[in-house]
Amino acid sequence: MDFKTIEDFDPKDKRVLVRVDFNVPFRNGVIEDDYRIVRTLPTLKYLVDRGAQVILLTHLSEDIPGAFLAISDYLKKVFETVIFIPGNNLSLAKGTIKTLVPGEIILLDNIRLFKGEEENDSVFAKELASLGDYYVNEAFSVSHRSHASIVGISKIISGFAGLLFEEEYKNLSQAFKPEHPFLLILGGVKFESKLGVLNKFVQIADKIFIGGGLANNFFKMLGEDVGNSVVDESVNVMPYIGNAKIFLPVDKRIKDGKILDIGPESIKFLAGLIERAQFILWNGPLGSYEEEGFDLGTKEVARMIAHCGSKIVIGGGNTIDVLEHMPEKKILESHAYLSTSGGAMLEFLANGTLPGIEALKD
């Protein structure tokens, strides 16, 4: 690694700005899935136990009333003192920070409410940096964004990677020098975001299975009738047609003229690929998992992977969502790496770095 981690500085009696990703789903004002928060807790405990004064920066992609109060209440069950600063009020934050004692935590409101965050405005970055002595990036999952709280701050004060950030970097990097045979499974519907991964790993992987909506582009290019299935017309898959490494579903489950899942023969075929693989990288569901009865392909593949002896890395928010409701998740957690990242994982795999990684190197 070319960057330093939280173990490379002494946080005692220091104000530490920590960029986390608490962009978690809510239902009726209640946190529906706390996975990303849970994965961040070891870093927060590390800093608190060593006497740091912690200032948390995070975002929510949707404006959900009461969401940050709910996150604050969640954190209060783990830490003794958590103070929530509502609204985009840095003056109030500065005043509150002056009263902090070692081991206390401040949670700022949605960082994207602040003008200058998404533009990586240097003036705003300086304002944020003035709140702390050190900066810790514990948000690998949004480190593909060149925002002030990801890139700008670490140009002003010393920046370090959190424990989860380091985990993500090390585990995803396995894909660059994998054990062979190496099986790549790509699903989901946003083909354009996965094209870079396909470009990169068609040179590295031994087998690539493409399912989900991504496969529809191939089917259409091959002249098959895809009905009203999801197809990304902006993506040209012709360069990959006929590549001996790339495999498509051999059968499909269709409803109302729409391809919604891989079929039983495809599952059997994938079972053979999984059984022979020594390293498996999987991103994206293999069917329309949110529609009742069409999550079968994704779940069956998850079960097979959970019980295989390969090294495994799984990522993508939708893929992890499916696993969240399966008993196999605990099995996977014991011997696989489950990434908290979606877009950041794909960009890192395609390019080998991210803006947030490069910022920590400066």
* pLDDT tens-digit readout, 5-30: 999 999 999 999 999 999 999 988 89
Q: What is the pLDDT of residue 289?
A: 86
If asked whether residues 58 and 193 sit together in one domain, one would say no
**Which pLDDT band, with edges at 50, 70 and 90, does 92 fall under?**
confident
Instruction: Please check whether residue 152 is in contact with residue 122, taking contact to mean a CB–CB distance below 8 angstroms.
Output: yes
* pTM of the predicted structure, to 2 decimals: 0.93
Residue 358 lies in a domain: no
pLDDT tens by residue, 321-355: 888 888 988 899 888 999 999 899 999 999 999 99
Tell me the residue range of the domain where 99 lies. 6-166
- pLDDT tens for 278-326 read 999 999 999 998 888 899 999 999 999 999 989 999 998 888 888 888 8
Tell me the pLDDT of the chain averaged across its residues: 94
Q: Check whether residue 153 and residue 184 sit in a common domain.
A: no
13 shares its domain with 160: yes
Residue 331 belongs to a domain: no
Looking at 140, 166, 192, the residue that finishes a domain is: 166
**Residues 141, 60 share a domain:** yes
Examine the domain organization and report whether 218 and 283 are in the same domain: yes
Q: 79 and 28 in contact (C-beta within 8 Å)?
A: no
Reply yes or no on whether the pLDDT at 258 is more than 90. Answer: yes
CATH number at residue 24: 3.40.50.1260
What are the angstrom distances between the C-alpha of 54 and each of 5, 79, 209? 16, 11, 44
Q: In total, how many domains does the chain have?
A: 2
Identify whether residues 134 and 189 lie together within a single domain.
Answer: no
Within this chain, do residues 107 and 252 fall inside the same structural domain, yes or no?
Answer: no
- Claim to verify: residue 102 and residue 202 sit in the same structural domain: no
Residue 20 CB partners (closer than 8 Å, separation 6+): 37, 40, 44, 56, 57, 58, 138, 139
Instruction: Show the 3-state SS of 290-356.
Output: CCCCCCHHHHHHHHHHHCCCCEEEEECHHHHHHHHCCCHHHHHHHHCEECCCCHHHHHHHHHCCCHH
- Are residues 213 and 87 both part of a single domain? no
Query: Can you tell me the mean pLDDT for 88-104?
Result: 89
* Interstrand relation of 337-338 and 30-31 (parallel, antiparallel or unpaired): unpaired
Identify whether residues 295 and 225 lie together within a single domain: yes
pLDDT value at 267 more than 80:
yes
Same-domain status, 201 and 145: no
Same domain, 267 and 308: yes
Asked if the structure places residue 223 within a domain, the reply is: yes
pLDDT in tens, 108-158: 999 999 989 999 999 999 999 999 999 999 999 999 999 999 999 999 999
pLDDT reported for residue 129: 96
Whether the predicted pLDDT of 1 surpasses 80? no
